[in-house]
Structure 1
Amino acid sequence: MFGTGKPRTKLGKWLDKKGVTQSWLMKKSGLNKNTISELTGDKNRLPTLRTMQKVIKALREIDPKVNSNDFWDV
């Protein structure tokens, strides 16, 4: 849980820990607000391969070692 008491996924918790906003991720990844919101708050939401690639590419600007296994069991 973070801030407003909403549940957070591994991705959401990582963003919180790093001080990264969902808006930043939205701009860097080119994904829409709803997709980012679902990926950071809905533990049942699995991204498509293309969406996962966009997220990881953006996050590697912050941590070059990050990979999809850090957030999703794929």
Structure 2
Amino acid sequence: MSRNKTKTLRQFNDDDLKDKLIDLKVDLAKLRSEAIKGTLKKEAGVIRWKRRDIARVLTLMNERTGGKK
């Protein structure tokens, strides 16, 4: 899976960003479970990038709402 660039994420609408966030969280959960089981070999560094992509999406969502919840 390719990494998400901020430029491309800004083109998404709010619903697409929410869907992307859900997908990223599911992927992160799978990677963490594989890491705990010990079956995660090559993709050990991917967890860090997934977390950063999640933060990037959340930041964009907060920018659009003006920081209000």
> Is this a same-fold pair by TM over 0.5?
no
The structure with the greater share of residues assigned to helix is 2
Q: Which has the higher contact order (CA 8 A, sep 6+)?
A: 2
- TM-score, scaled relative to structure 1: 0.27
